[in-house]
Chain A
């Protein structure tokens, strides 16, 4: 039997750790750390496949843990915090977190997000095909099709979709999208991003679909959702 992946929970609240263990144990082996310092050394020692990090830790802020961690590790990190302001989320995502879930959370949602960030860790950007619901992308021929019909995208629209697809399931911040599609000088030009997202949506989304493929995260960025039901 293939061994289950290891999830490391860094949280100072014992109750949360206990419940996360119950929730995650179906799919993961779970290890708990109750402080930032201990969490960092546990990551180094145990090499987890995914990290769930709380921001309000007693010894050091979760953002500092994230920063230290990113100096040497690319392990997928999901921030699990009560801080719900867009600023906190953007700071964490731009600081190298792979996703952000606020407490209290829906269990199903948390598991889906964890799967998404892990998938990215495993697959990487060199996969030539991408599919989510009715959308299919062939990165080699640069073709995009919706329900089997090819859709014509402009170069910018394609570049935008490609970034979102490469991070499918995860929220990509405005800044990150602007930087990757338009270059580092465009980080503040969010109005262009809005316009192209609107165009892109018109072209690739099917209006009858109950769930939207490109979801807006207000004040943070966009997420290409991988539909769970349709597949």
Chain B
């Protein structure tokens, strides 16, 4: 399709076409000279008419008019008696000649119109398909950047140009650095041209120094409400653009501007959604957490006031101190949970991957859970048979610990909690099973939500434990899900893609 839109129009004026018309006229004339003894001079007019019609189908208007004129003159000079003069003797010959002239021009004109409308039709089709391609490749691209790369390369192939895109920055000024896919080098003069186009919101024409003084065009990417940037183009082979090309380029610029604006609005919308979600989180935080913070704090203060008042028997004192200790631990757990959750919410959790032994991970998680598991029977698989895995041990320790605490609080004392670990291809699968009452089907989808608490949850707890598990596991590109077991109990399974290293390999390092 390279440059073909303009070619058909420019070719109209080419010398090539005139030469072809002259040759055809000469051939017809020679043929007529041979034929005239047989047919008489009137029939020859029809041959010239045929020539004009054919020329009208092929050539541009001026060539057709010239052909018609030449045909009339030649017919008159060579064939109408008296021959070899331009003088016409008989009145009917004069009429024939006049009619020939009118018919030739009319025929030429009509066929030429027909052809032009056909060319215009083809141009429209090419234009439509070019715009369609732009919408398909740039507008429906999975992300804005891919779309822009596609738009630039599309413009370059359709117009045979080198192109550059300068985008509007966040502070609503024009970037001085072209988009990375741009092939057109932007020197300071070119950047100024683009800036002018951006400021005036009209396309700007400029002679560029390289290559060979060709024309540079700067088209503003106009959208509904604003200008999203500037499209800079310079022809690769020729010196300038014609009107049709410029019109299409301007349409392209508007389309790209609209696509960019759409992406911009989408982003703004997402941002607004995030803000709204964080506001919701704030409200929930105030409700749920203020309770969770104030309860242990109240216990601490009451206990301390009791101690401060003096007269207390030794036994009671000891109990009070124990209560204060446990309340302050609870307070710390709530604060830790909140801090972890806010790290997750702000996307600040970056796992620090390091080699780690799975058995050690499980033991550390059990240690972390501490006395909360003392009333349950804990069964652990021997993880030391597994190869080492590359994970953030501290994060996963917290995950497993939260799952253990969750199981412990939802299953009766004396029941069994099972922790297992296995490797499945390159996936680390960690599972925590309990023998509690399981999870209601209606709640299965929501238990990992922030601040969600089971309908019949025991008092205490922030509704953050499982959300933190989910957040930390996601940070590892893994997932966690819950299911009910038969005949009773629940199972939580963490699945994480990991790199592995078998112990034998590592021994080479001795």
Binding site for B on A (CB under 8 A): 86-87, 104, 154, 156, 174, 182, 186, 189-192, 194-195, 197-198, 202, 212, 216, 218-219
Report the bound CA distance from A189 to B357 in whole Å.
Answer: 15
Report the bound CA distance from A166 to B506 in whole Å.
Answer: 25
Report the bound CA distance from A156 to B501 in whole Å.
Answer: 19
Flag if A182 contacts B509 (CB, 8 Å). Answer: yes
Cβ-closest 4 pairs across A and B: A191-B355, A218-B394, A195-B506, A192-B509
Flag if A194 contacts B397 (CB, 8 Å). Answer: no
Main secondary structure of the interface of A (DSSP, over half): helix
The interface residues of chain A lying within 8 Å CB-to-CB of B397 are: 218
CB distance from B506 to the nearest CB of A (A): 4
CB < 8 Å neighbour of B506 from A104, A194, A212: A194
CB distance from A145 to the nearest CB of B (A): 23
Flag if A194 contacts B394 (CB, 8 Å). Answer: no
Main secondary structure of the interface of B (DSSP, over half): helix
CB contacts under 8 Å to A, within B396-422, are: 397
The interface residues of chain A lying within 8 Å CB-to-CB of B392 are: 219
Report the bound CA distance from A115 to B328 in whole Å.
Answer: 25
The interface residues of chain B lying within 8 Å CB-to-CB of A191 are: 355, 388, 501, 506
Given A104-B328, A219-B393, A219-B394, CB of A194 within 8 Å of CB of B355? yes
Given A216-B360, A219-B394, CB of A198 within 8 Å of CB of B352? no
CB distance from B126 to the nearest CB of A (A): 59
Complex A-B: 16 CB contacts under 8 Å: A86-B352, A104-B332, A154-B510, A156-B510, A186-B509, A189-B509, A190-B355, A191-B388, A192-B506, A194-B355, A194-B506, A198-B384, A198-B503, A216-B364, A219-B352, A219-B394
Name the residue of chain A whose CB is nearest to the CB of B502. A195
Name the residue of chain A whose CB is nearest to the CB of B359. A198
Report the bound CA distance from A68 to B101 in whole Å.
Answer: 107
Per-residue A-contact encoding for B318-358, CB less than 8 Å = 1, 0 else:
00000000001000100000000000000000001011110
The interface residues of chain B lying within 8 Å CB-to-CB of A190 are: 354-355
The interface residues of chain B lying within 8 Å CB-to-CB of A192 are: 506, 509
> How many residues of B sit at the interface, in one of the four size bands?
20 to 34
CB contacts under 8 Å to A, within B105-121, are: none
Given A86-B394, A104-B328, A219-B394, CB of A195 within 8 Å of CB of B356? no
Report the bound CA distance from A195 to B500 in whole Å.
Answer: 13
The interface residues of chain A lying within 8 Å CB-to-CB of B360 are: 198, 216
Name the residue of chain A whose CB is nearest to the CB of B332. A104
The interface residues of chain A lying within 8 Å CB-to-CB of B143 are: none
Pair count A-B, CB < 8 A: 48
Name the residue of chain B whose CB is nearest to the CB of A174. B354
Report the bound CA distance from A197 to B360 in whole Å.
Answer: 10
CB distance from A155 to the nearest CB of B (A): 8
Report the bound CA distance from A197 to B384 in whole Å.
Answer: 12
Report the bound CA distance from A202 to B503 in whole Å.
Answer: 14
Name the residue of chain A whose CB is nearest to the CB of B384. A198
CB distance from A187 to the nearest CB of B (A): 13
- Candidate in A154, A190, A195, A197 with the most chain B CB atoms within 10 angstroms: A195
Name the residue of chain B whose CB is nearest to the CB of A87. B352
Report the bound CA distance from A156 to B506 in whole Å.
Answer: 13
Flag if B506 contacts A218 (CB, 8 Å). Answer: no
CB distance from A18 to the nearest CB of B (A): 15
The interface residues of chain B lying within 8 Å CB-to-CB of A104 are: 328, 332
CB distance from A179 to the nearest CB of B (A): 14
Given A104-B332, A218-B397, A219-B392, CB of A194 within 8 Å of CB of B510? no
CB contacts under 8 Å to A, within B273-330, are: 328
- B507 within 8 Å of A by Cβ? yes
The interface residues of chain B lying within 8 Å CB-to-CB of A194 are: 355-357, 388, 506
CB distance from A200 to the nearest CB of B (A): 12
CB distance from B1 to the nearest CB of A (A): 55
Flag if A195 contacts B394 (CB, 8 Å). Answer: no
CB distance from A142 to the nearest CB of B (A): 17
CB distance from A114 to the nearest CB of B (A): 21
Name the residue of chain A whose CB is nearest to the CB of B396. A218
CB distance from A85 to the nearest CB of B (A): 9
The interface residues of chain A lying within 8 Å CB-to-CB of B328 are: 104
Name the residue of chain A whose CB is nearest to the CB of B503. A195
Report the bound CA distance from A182 to B388 in whole Å.
Answer: 20
Report the bound CA distance from A87 to B351 in whole Å.
Answer: 12
CB distance from B504 to the nearest CB of A (A): 9
Flag if A195 contacts B332 (CB, 8 Å). Answer: no
If A156-B510, A198-B357, A219-B392 are given as contacts, then 20 extra A-B residue pairs at C-beta distance below 8 Å, sorted by A number, are: A86-B352, A86-B394, A104-B328, A189-B509, A190-B355, A191-B506, A194-B355, A194-B357, A194-B506, A195-B388, A195-B503, A212-B363, A216-B360, A216-B364, A216-B393, A218-B393, A218-B397, A219-B352, A219-B393, A219-B394
Name the residue of chain B whose CB is nearest to the CB of A156. B510
The interface residues of chain B lying within 8 Å CB-to-CB of A216 are: 360, 364, 393
The interface residues of chain B lying within 8 Å CB-to-CB of A182 are: 509
Report the bound CA distance from A125 to B397 in whole Å.
Answer: 34
CB contacts under 8 Å to A, within B378-397, are: 384, 388, 392-394, 397
Given A104-B332, A195-B507, CB of A218 within 8 Å of CB of B364? yes
Report the bound CA distance from A189 to B507 in whole Å.
Answer: 12
The interface residues of chain A lying within 8 Å CB-to-CB of B355 are: 190-191, 194
- Candidate in A86, A154, A174, A194 with the most chain B CB atoms within 10 angstroms: A194
The interface residues of chain B lying within 8 Å CB-to-CB of A87 are: 352
Name the residue of chain B whose CB is nearest to the CB of A191. B355
- Candidate in A86, A186, A197, A218 with the most chain B CB atoms within 10 angstroms: A218
CB distance from A215 to the nearest CB of B (A): 9
The interface residues of chain B lying within 8 Å CB-to-CB of A219 are: 352, 354, 392-394
Report the bound CA distance from A111 to B429 in whole Å.
Answer: 39
Report the bound CA distance from A174 to B352 in whole Å.
Answer: 14
CB distance from B193 to the nearest CB of A (A): 49
The interface residues of chain A lying within 8 Å CB-to-CB of B364 are: 216, 218
The interface residues of chain B lying within 8 Å CB-to-CB of A156 are: 510
The interface residues of chain B lying within 8 Å CB-to-CB of A189 are: 509
Report the bound CA distance from A27 to B328 in whole Å.
Answer: 26
CB distance from A220 to the nearest CB of B (A): 9
Name the residue of chain A whose CB is nearest to the CB of B397. A218
Report the bound CA distance from A104 to B329 in whole Å.
Answer: 9
Name the residue of chain B whose CB is nearest to the CB of A157. B510
CB distance from B367 to the nearest CB of A (A): 8
Name the residue of chain A whose CB is nearest to the CB of B508. A192
CB distance from A180 to the nearest CB of B (A): 15
- Candidate in B363, B392, B507 with the most chain A CB atoms within 10 angstroms: B507
